[in-house]
Amino acid sequence: MSNDQSIFKRFPQRQTLLEDFKRKGKHNVLLVNGHFHTPFSFSAFTEIEQAFRMAKDEGIQVLGINDFYTTDGYAEFVELAQKYRIFPLFNIEFMSLQKDLQAEGIRVNDPANPGRTYMSGKGLTQPLKIGKDALTLLEQVQTESNIQTAEMVEKLNAFLNELNAGFSFTFDELKAKYAKNMLRERHIAKALREAINENFDTAEQKTDFYKQIFSGKEMKSELNDTAGLENEIRGNLLKTGGRAFVPEDPKAFLSLEQVKDVIISAGGIPCYPVLLDDAKGNFTDYERNKEDLYEVLVSKGIYSVELIPGRNTFPILKDFITYFRAKNFLITFGTEHNTPQLDPVKVSCSGGVDLDAELEQIGFEGGCILAAHQYLVANDQEGYLDNTGYAKLTEYNLFVQLGQAVISHFIGQK
């Protein structure tokens, strides 16, 4: 099927799907990874197909692309989904700014930047259909993001020149080699690590140069620890206080309300990504109390949360998810893969602790609701949100059932 038409356009009608699914008898809970990044933003994967190969090997049958600011990976993603018979979820991620919380110093789901609020859009249209005003906002944040990284490249080159490094970069070259249409600071870190490796022969020379670009600080990672080195480059060179740091222009951030509007205009469901507990057991101000968080999200018209359980301890994750599931929230899990570290695609908690059967069931339900939503919207019907943007919480189980039928039809499950 050509990529200019939704894959769901040729699906049977709703009743036929449900009847076919019922005839198949026993239905298993499928493993879902509803959030991972691809090279269209930044990813641990060298190509999208690598994620599908790993998913196939690990028994994952539902995958959700979730790139920053772009849906450009959708066309390749849907082709690979059809090839591997793994059901595709079409998502996107934004960084928004709640200026009132920034002024109050309240950390939301970015532990280092008060007010900054990550938001995901779940179950967007594929191919993307979006209103003109929303498209303008989306293009605005894409442009501002590239302007910032272009300025970082310039500052990095000036610093490398001071150090007589013997090499430099251009924005266009980096984008062509490492990115698609959006260059992120992680791409810059990767390019610099590779350039150091290529331009210095001995371990001592490389170590000495790292110390120079880290402004005298000793490197903590081993030279063969690519992920560790790239994280150190970001922390020492590209973040606040680093020689190549460039602050983000306020125009790079939409308000939370604008992000919601863009997501809904693109046929999606606004979803709040939850950090929950970090490696030291700390929570952000916004998330410290789950009851308060629930009330705030509902007041903002958000009825979906997603988590990256690899960050969280199992007991805390379980308690949080049990609470939000009882509220009929749409819940998804993912692995993110937005760092150089190539972890498994199968979702697990910190320390590699597996999700239990109940959490896997809840994650599958979330995937099913998104599948049903994508199917309905593609066929010009109302999805999980009504025409006011309110989620159909009382129809949760009906959407799960329809989503199971949609997924089953796609993957040819027997």
Provide the number of structural domains found in the chain: 2
Q: Report residue 138 as tokens.
A: 């989306």
The pLDDT of residue 414? 44
Q: What is the CATH number of the domain that holds 86?
A: 3.20.20.140
Note whether 124 and 199 are same-domain residues: no
pLDDT, mean of residues 64-84: 95
The answer on 21 and 46 residing in a single domain is: yes
CB of 410 within 8 A of CB of 87? yes
**Number of H-type helices and E-type strands within the chain:** 14, 7
Q: Which pLDDT value is given to residue 1? A: 36
* C-alpha–C-alpha distance, residues 198 and 316, integer Å: 44
> In which residue are the tokens 């507990």 written?
277
Q: Is the pLDDT of residue 132 over 60?
A: yes
Instruction: Return the CA Rg of the chain.
Output: 22
- Residue 43: inside a domain, yes or no? yes
**pLDDT at position 251, please?**
77
* pLDDT tens column, 185-219: 999 999 999 999 999 999 999 999 999 999 999 99
Q: Do 83 and 185 sit in the same domain of this protein?
A: no
Q: Is residue 399 situated within a structural domain?
A: yes
Same-domain pairing of 390 and 284: yes
Q: Are residues 229 and 318 in the same domain?
A: no
Residues 100, 163 within the same domain: no
Residues 292 and 227 in one domain: no
Residues 17, 154, single domain; the answer is no
Residue 1 lies in a domain: no
Integer Cα distance of 189 and 184 in angstroms: 9
Same domain, 227 and 294: no
What range defines the domain where residue 343 resides? 7-129+266-411
Please give the Cα distance from 47 to 38 (Å, whole number). Answer: 7
Strands 87-97 and 330-333 turn out to be unpaired
Per-residue pLDDT averaged across 78-101, rounded?
96
Tell me the pLDDT tens digit for each residue of 333-342: 999 998 888 8
Asked if residue 116 belongs to a domain, the reply is yes
Residues 273 and 391 in one domain: yes
**Is 246 contained in some domain?**
no
pLDDT at 179: 84
Give the global pTM: 0.90
pLDDT of residue 4: 66
25 and 108 part of one domain: yes
Three-class SS state of 244: coil
| 45 within some domain | yes
- % of the chain residues with pLDDT over 70: 99
Domain shared by 82 and 57, yes or no: yes
Of 238, 253, 282, which residue sits at a domain end?
238
